[in-house]
Chain A
Amino acid sequence: MTDIYLGADRATDAEAAAVDAALRARGVDPVVRPETERLYTSGTARRRERRHFLLPALHALQNEAGWISPGGINYVAEVLDVPPAEAFGVATFYDLFRTESPDHDGDTFHVCVDAACQIAGYDDLAASVRAAGGHVHLGPCLGQCERAPALFVQGSGGRPDYVPADDEPFELPQAGEESLRLLRRIGVADPESLESYLAHGGYEALGRAGEMGAEAVMAAVADSGLSGRGGAAFPTGVKWRAVAAETGRPKHVVANCDESEPGTFKDRIVMEQDPFAVIETMTIAGLATGAANGWIYIRGEYPLATGRLQGAIDAARAAGLLGEDAAGTGHDFDIAIWRGAGAYICGEETALFNSLEGFRGEPRNKPPFPTTHGLFGEPTAINNPETLLNVLDIVTEGPDAYRSRGTERSPGTKLLCLSGKVGRPGLYEVPFGTTLGDLLELAGGVAGNGELQAVLMGGAAGSFVGPDSLGLPLTLEDTRAAGTTLGSGVVMAFDTSDDMTDVVVRIAEFFRNESCGQCVPCRVGAVRQHETLVQMQRRGSLSPARRTLIDEMAEVMVDASICGLGHTAASAVRSALDLGLIASAPSR
């Protein structure tokens, strides 16, 4: 059977029009096929062809009606040939989608409750929004940790989403400094102007890459020692070569712009302030790997970055820098943007593929790996935008010059997201090897009461270090040896007035809420871990048996979970226990 069964609910005209517009914007004719045609022609082919438009269609419904209604689901199901039960399963996966009729028809004010905003007093912000009549939704990190407490407004009734803080002029703490490599155009070039990008060296790297050829570009990337900045530090050259080696199937380059690790906001600033660089480096990746299809998967809470990237894509396409024979390289490459809808797990690369393809954002078991079975099951090079940005220097100045910065095993510079109790929170770029203490000094030193209690490294999936770690050189090898991680570049400082138990309990709650629920160790383990910590908080102590239980739960999550979320869900919790930041004295 290829037909789908629909209940009696029908979409309103406005809902249907919103879906139609979203599909047309992506070149899809939103025509409903008569049932006879669904049954007797093309089988499930169209279902496969169209499934990946589900996420944009659901966004359109949510934005129009403030929720995804049964009639709306049926309309989308009919247009895209997706069974309604599956479309519902997808819609209910995401925080930004509602499947119950809202009790208000205004916008939704998302207030972040994660660590940086917790210690900056998100409750005051939430109270003031409520006092002004706004409907508040408390949720995870919004990627604005440097301007905590953070707010994101989700539009309804067709009104666009927006971030009030985007109205403030942007300032980069290190703006214009000579030492900057990845951030050198920020605050200098106009992010909305291709001319300005070109005037600041834009598209020199792609031109150079075109002359060098794919093989030489990959050799340079491999020789540079560049490794992934999305958290896993996988060698980029190895990844690209594996994709380049695949032939006979369509190939993809995906920029993983889902950035949802609590404490991380670097990609947002790069995308907002230097969008053409993301576009150019994706094009270089396409050239090197022989992939013609570029995809940007960006978290739904980043409207400004989404708009700037779309503007950059449009301008680049109009100038012949994307599309057929992009920039005269002889290689065809184009880019489409897909918006996520509020799910940390969709930053995990295989969950991202499923999400983009219109399925629930559940990670896949690996192997097989994305380089052979990525987006649509086809070879895919997926990279973090910061990783991609490094390719500009690697191509233009060569791997040797690139390696002159940083350390032997961690070449280059690193973007670090400073937040919490530091003098000047914000995005910083330093060579690998800079010490944690020097970095904190660069960011204006410890703020608050001036006494450092702990630093969260690498985000919720990372770990805490104490004030005795200020001498730690920030490299992949040194952090690993010290039992911590750079992860996605989070450096969040806490002073001695911060209640670390509150912070750690919230981290555990974050994992509980963000687990996709697919595998037992993480689906249940993250809940039991959180419950155990809440129990500890209420009692004021953790019994030795409970401490052992936490370790036992951690062990199965690390050993038997499907993906990195489960693997890291206990990491920060255990580091806090080991450092004595919480439950130091099993008193009562």
Chain B
Amino acid sequence: MTDTTITETAVTITIDGQPVEVAEGSTIHAACVEAGIDTPTLCWAENLTPVNVCRVCVVELEGSRALVPSCSRPAEEGMVVQTDTPRVRHSRRMVLEFLGSGVDLSQADDLHHWMKAYGADPDRYGDEDHPVERVEEPVKVQDELYIRDYSKCVLCYKCVEACGDDAQHTFAIAVAGRGFDARISTEFDVTLPDSACVYCGNCVGVCPTGALQFKTEYDLREVGEWRPEDQTVTRTVCSYCGVGCNLDLHVQDERIVKVTSPSDHSVTSGHLCIKGRFGWQYVHGE
């Protein structure tokens, strides 16, 4: 195949002074990736429709009054984009700082180096006499498969999308409430076993902060035994049915501690069903 179809539908934009060519319909973020410019994202994932809510990926677009979310804004011919101006750095820093001031980011590993890079200081709000409002919720442990700890939730909407239109079409969870009180919830906060949840674990697979977590991981963390550095990841194909989903088995101390699927896998796009996700207890003879 020749490249003609691709060049016909390519657009060129300028990022930080450097021309970048991407296929029409690509986002500014994709163009940043193309240009080798590292850009923080939180609510974006390659296997989900962009919701552009976290605003950590904002960039300066010439001619636009406000900054624009690079993860969702399509690149248009001739756009001039800046990714490292004081305005961009300020907004990214403040977004990270705001998040850290309100929820527990201790397990949001992807954000840590960005917080450092932008100098985010989540502790500078309030003081002893005036503590700031934080999301503080008891951990929901309602079954043996996964837990929900919404005091770690950044409201990135990824789990809602994975449970809904973007993968599972179960719609067991949605955003409820408004403003700072908004939470991911089942109807009337009923427990997962009482909800529509089918335990596909796709929400767990996309959660960037550890708010949704395999029970195995949660239990190990509780006793201080969660050691990612000692884990191996083995790719295999799920043996339950003929679909052929790729599974990544995360193994620690010779036990499977969680199962993921590569988000770029053509069959799963990272999403699985209950059997592939949680059906590995039999491996240990349980």
The distance in angstroms between the C-alpha atoms of A561 and B54, with both chains bound, is 9
Which of B177-185, B230-238, B248-256 interfaces with chain A? B177-185
Q: Is B101 within 8 A of A526, CB to CB? A: no
Q: Tell me if A92 and B180 are in contact (CB < 8 A).
A: no
Kindly state whether residue B6 has any CB partner on chain A within 8 Å. Answer: no
- How many Å from the CB of B57 to the closest CB on chain A? 10
Structural contact, B195 and A552, CB atoms closer than 8 A:
no
Residue A512, interface by CB 8 Å: yes
Q: Do A559 and B99 have beta carbons less than 8 Å apart? A: no
Contact flag A516-B179 (CB < 8 Å), given A85-B173, A552-B90, A553-B94: yes
The residue in chain B whose Cβ has the minimal distance to the Cβ of A74 is B187
The answer to whether B187 touches A556 (Cβ under 8 A) is no
Q: Which of A178-186, A422-430, A531-539, A572-580 contacts B (4 or more CB under 8 A)?
A: A531-539
Contact A85 B55 (CB under 8 A): no
Verify B171–A4 contact, CB threshold 8 A.
yes
Q: CA separation between A519 and B50, bound complex, in Å?
A: 13
Query: Given A88-B185, A88-B188, is A531 in contact with B174 using a C-beta cutoff of 8 Å?
Result: no
Q: With A and B bound together, what is the CA distance between A567 and B91 in angstroms?
A: 13
Cα distance A524–B179 when bound, in Å? 8
Inter-subunit contact A517/B177 (CB<8 Å): yes
Q: Are A520 and B190 in contact (CB under 8 A)?
A: no
A21 at the interface (CB under 8 A from B): no
The digit string for B162-183, where 1 denotes a CB below 8 A from any CB of A, is 0010000111111111111110
Q: Write out the residue numbers on chain A whose beta carbons fall within 8 Å of the beta carbon of B67.
A: 559-560
| Chain B positions 101-141 with a Cβ under 8 Å from a chain A Cβ | 101-102, 124-127, 129-130, 132-133
- Residues in A whose Cβ lies below 8 Å from that of B125: 528, 531-532, 549
Q: Place the interface of chain B in its size category.
A: 35 or more
Q: Is the CB of A83 within 8 A of B55?
A: no
Q: How many residues on A have C-beta within 8 angstroms of the other chain's C-beta atoms? A: 52
What is the distance, in angstroms, from B163's C-beta to the closest C-beta of chain A? 9
In the complex, what's the smallest C-beta–C-beta distance from B281 to chain A, in angstroms? 25
Q: Which residues of B contact A559 (CB under 8 A)?
A: 58, 66-67, 87, 90-91
Q: Is A318 an interface residue (CB 8 A)?
A: no
Question: Are B98 and A99 closer than 8 Å at their CB atoms?
Answer: no
Once bound together, how far apart are the Cα atoms of A10 and B98, in whole Å?
Answer: 41
* CB-defined contacts of B145 to chain A, threshold 8 Å: none
Partner of A560, one of B72, B95, B174, B175: B95
Task: Give Cα distance in the complex from A513 to B67, angstroms.
Answer: 25
Give the residues in chain B near A523, CB-CB below 8 Å. Answer: 155, 179-180, 182
The distance in angstroms between the C-alpha atoms of A516 and B176, with both chains bound, is 11
Q: A524 and B187: CB pair below 8 A?
A: no
Report the number of A-B residue pairs with Cβ-Cβ less than 8 Å. Answer: 165
B124, A549: Cβ atoms closer than 8 Å = yes
Q: Is B80 an interface residue (CB 8 A)?
A: no
Q: A343-B178, A517-B177 are in contact. Are A1 and B169 (CB under 8 A)?
A: yes
Per a CB cutoff under 8 Å, which of B56, B58, B101, B187 touches A84?
B187
The complex places the Cα of A560 from the Cα of B54 at a distance, in Å, of 9
User: Which of B66, B127, B187 touches A85 (beta carbons < 8 Å)?
Assistant: B187
Q: Are A535 and B126 in contact (CB under 8 A)?
A: yes
- Complex Cα distance A535/B133, Å? 13
How far apart are B240's CB and chain A's nearest CB, in angstroms?
A: 18
Instruction: Tell me if A89 and B185 are in contact (CB < 8 A).
Output: yes
CA separation between A28 and B177, bound complex, in Å?
28
Is the C-beta of A93 less than 8 angstroms from some C-beta in chain B?
yes
- Measured CA separation A361–B130 after assembly (Å): 32
A85–B56 CA distance with the chains assembled, in angstroms = 28
Asked if B260 is at the interface (CB within 8 A of a chain A CB), the reply is no
Q: Is there contact, CB below 8 Å, between A528 and B101?
A: yes
A12 at the interface (CB under 8 A from B): no
Closest approach, in angstroms, between the C-beta of B74 and any C-beta of chain A? 9
Q: Are A7 and B132 in contact (CB under 8 A)?
A: no
Contact status A5-B66, CB under 8 Å: no
Question: Is the CB–CB distance between B99 and A524 below 8 Å?
Answer: yes
Asked if A562 contacts B90 (CB within 8 A), the reply is: no
A528 near B155 with CB under 8 A, answer no
B208 to chain A, nearest CB (A): 13
Q: 1/0 contact trace for A169-189 toward B, CB 8 Å? A: 000000000000000000000
| Binary CB contact string for chain A from 557 to 570 against chain B (1 if under 8 A, 0 otherwise) | 01111100001000
Known: A531-B133, A556-B91, A559-B67. A93 touches B178 (CB 8 A): yes
Q: Which residues of A contact B (CB under 8 A)?
A: 1-2, 4-5, 7, 70, 73, 83-89, 92-93, 99, 343, 360, 365, 512-521, 523-528, 531-532, 534-535, 538, 549, 552-553, 555-556, 558-562, 567
- 6 CB-based A-B contacts, threshold 8 Å: A87-B187, A360-B175, A523-B182, A525-B98, A527-B102, A527-B132
Kindly list 9 other residue pairs between chains A and B, CB separation below 8 angstroms, not including A83-B164, A528-B125.
A70-B187, A516-B182, A520-B154, A528-B98, A538-B129, A553-B94, A555-B87, A559-B66, A562-B53
